[in-house]
Amino acid sequence: MKILVTGASGNGGQAICHKLLEAGFSVRMADVMPPAGGVIPSTEFMRCDMRSPGDIQNAVNGVDAVIHLAAWHSAHQPPVSDETIFAVNVDGTFHMFEACRKFGIQAIVYASSMAYGHGSVYGVTKVIGEDLSRAYHEMTGASIANLRYHEFIPRPYLEFGARLLRNGVDRSDVALATVAALQAVIERKIGLFTTIVHTHHGMPEAVIANFKELGPDWCELMVPGSRELISKYQIELPHTVEQHDLSEAERLLGWKPRVGFVEFLRDLKIRDEQGEDVHSLWVPSELPE
């Protein structure tokens, strides 16, 4: 099957395209520009501006399913204007759904965000995107998954680890959730389904609620030496851990996250024992995917 990935040259898009190829799909990448490192081998690249209905129709024509990632978000540096965020995220998503209706696409994954509904133009664009998902599901019967990704913007390794306890998620989990959602919409296991895509630490409730006090003991139990690592690398612990119920996603998509704070601590321990300078590392690309 051939899958169109919009916004395919971005941080999430490239990881998702690699996972799609591994899963045996043909991939058409669509973006305003090719990936910085060049087009991924074995994929087709199509230049496409989501604000142009003709561009997106050309991109959708001939594929079996669509993963719609193309969007600007609020964390780009230098910043993208709210006008452009609105035009690409809202008009672009509308044009994508219209093209899917025109070409009879029945399997769609839409990249929403944890910023859904929060106080920014970007957050509003994801509300409208999910509303469009619902409307097109009702109008066309397409099977659609809305994935509210948590944060996977590239950042220094130690910050990445600490952020997993808050709103962070590893990019490989984002990619695996997206491919699992794609398989579910292709197989029509879901009609319209919305889920958060975040990490999961498997912590007892009491530890989640009082991580600052109980967390270091729990981490020590899971990964001996953690207490010392947390102190040595000055990892700032939150009072409470952000944790969502992801059981519906596991039941319906067969997906559950793989990289949590414990996996980060295991990785940090190995690097520490090898005397590596972790201060210069960045994620993604440093943890095994």
Give residues in contact with ligand NAD (CB under 6 A): 7, 9-13, 31-33, 48-51, 69-73, 88, 92, 111, 113-114, 149, 151-153
Alpha carbon of 135 to those of 27, 83, 86, 138, 147: distances in Å? 27, 24, 19, 5, 16
**Strand, helix or coil at 141?**
coil
Closer CB to ligand NAD, 51 or 269, in the complex: 51
Closer CB to ligand NAD, 164 or 207, in the complex: 164
To ligand NAD, the closest distance from the beta carbon of 51 in angstroms equals 5
* Residue that is written with structure tokens 């009082």 in the block: 210
To ligand NAD, the closest distance from the beta carbon of 219 in angstroms equals 25
Closer CB to ligand NAD, 63 or 230, in the complex: 63
To ligand NAD, the closest distance from the beta carbon of 151 in angstroms equals 4
Closer CB to ligand NAD, 81 or 231, in the complex: 81
To ligand NAD, the closest distance from the beta carbon of 13 in angstroms equals 5
Give the residue ranges of DSSP H helices in 87-225.
92-102, 121-140, 157-163, 171-186, 205-209, 211-222
To ligand NAD, the closest distance from the beta carbon of 205 in angstroms equals 26
Closer CB to ligand NAD, 150 or 201, in the complex: 150
To ligand NAD, the closest distance from the beta carbon of 191 in angstroms equals 22
To ligand NAD, the closest distance from the beta carbon of 72 in angstroms equals 6
Q: Which residue is nearest to ligand NAD (CB)?
A: 10
* Residue that is written with structure tokens 């319906």 in the block: 252
- The DSSP code sequence of 18-31 is HHHHHTT-EEEEEE
Contact criterion met (CB below 8 Å) for 256 and 250: yes
What amino acid occupies position 74? S
Q: Which of 61, 65, 64 is nearest to 48 (CA)?
A: 61
Contact criterion met (CB below 8 Å) for 10 and 73: no
> For the purposes of burial, counting CB atoms within 10 Å of the CB of 222, is it exposed (0-12), middle (13-18) or buried (19 or more)?
middle
Closer CB to ligand NAD, 137 or 171, in the complex: 171
Closer CB to ligand NAD, 50 or 230, in the complex: 50
Q: Which two tokens stand for residue 5?
A: 């990935």
Contact criterion met (CB below 8 Å) for 142 and 107: yes
